[in-house]
Amino acid sequence: MRVLSTVRFTLLRLMRNYIVLLLLLAVPIALLTVFSVILSGMVDEAGRPYFDQTALTMVLAFQLFGGSTVMSYLNEDLFARNRERMTVAPFNRTLYAFSILLAGSAFSFLLGAAIMAYTRLVLGLVWANWGWTLYLIALMAVLSSIVCVIFVCGVKSFSTAERLSEVYGVGFVLLAGLFFPMPQHAVFEFMGSYGNPLTLSVGAVRAVEIGNWNEAWFQANIVLAAIGFLFPVMLVMGRRRLR
């Protein structure tokens, strides 16, 4: 299949995209290193190190931005600079868009895993359940990519789509109440709990830490359901935009 031959190059492009590597790998690693010093020795009421939670939240929060590369490659290849060349080529552009979606998500996932590995190997953090955490990283990566595809296909202007994706990322970080408490209001409470993929995925990992698998699956499945719901939306948007 012709699209398969492009995957290698999409991955190469991702790996040489130094700005993305800086933002999604170097920045979180730098922040975590700083936090590990600041928070060393501090524990919460339950006696768990503060840094553990910070690291978990940070790893998952950066996945909210993982779709940005998918978005910019789709735009560049199908709607902007390379559009004409791709349009006259005898290959399936829808499949190509999918390959970018998959490659971008996988890349974001790998960066998340790399950050985890760094915290383990360099900062000595012990992750309770690697597999489960990676599963949630994967869900977050896919969700972010799908959301970004919806943005880039849904709005005409790419810079608007970019802003929307930033709102998605920053918005959920803020709503999760990580930096300052949100006002007491039903909407904010919902968006800070079961309506927030970041809160949900953090919650799912922490539920496993205390052995509550029911709650863990429940929260993870809400994220999965969001993917299931947004996937067809993405297909419709994509079809509309690609012809």
- Which residues bind to other proteins, rule: CB under 8 A? 2-3, 5-6, 9, 12-13, 16-17, 81-91, 96
Name the minimum Å distance from CB 97 to other proteins. 13
Nearer to other proteins, 37 or 89 (CB): 89
Nearer to other proteins, 17 or 212 (CB): 17
Name the residue with tokens 């699209």. Answer: 3
Which residues partner with 43 through β-bridges?
Answer: 49
Name the minimum Å distance from CB 19 to other proteins. 11
Half-sphere exposure of 51 (CA within 13 A, CB side): 20
Nearer to other proteins, 86 or 123 (CB): 86
Name the minimum Å distance from CB 237 to other proteins. 20
Name the minimum Å distance from CB 103 to other proteins. 13
Name the minimum Å distance from CB 236 to other proteins. 21
Nearer to other proteins, 9 or 229 (CB): 9
Nearer to other proteins, 16 or 156 (CB): 16
Nearer to other proteins, 65 or 96 (CB): 96
Nearer to other proteins, 101 or 208 (CB): 101
Name the minimum Å distance from CB 241 to other proteins. 15
Tell me, letter by letter, the H, E, C secondary structure of the chain: CCCHHHHHHHHHHHHCCHHHHHHHHHHHHHHHHHHHHHCCCCECCCCCEHHHHHHHHHHHHHHCCCCHHHHHHHHHHHHCCCHHHHHHCCCCHHHHHHHHHHHHHHHHHHHHHHHHHHHHHCCCCCCCCHHHHHHHHHHHHHHHHHHHHHHHHHCCCHHHHHHHHHHHHHHHHHHCCCCCCCCCCHHHHHHCCCCCHHHHHHHHHHHHHCCCHHHHHHHHHHHHHHHHHHHHHHHHHHHHHHC
Q: Contact 231/146 with Cβ under 8 angstroms?
A: yes
Name the minimum Å distance from CB 70 to other proteins. 15
Token pair, residue 135, equals: 């599963």
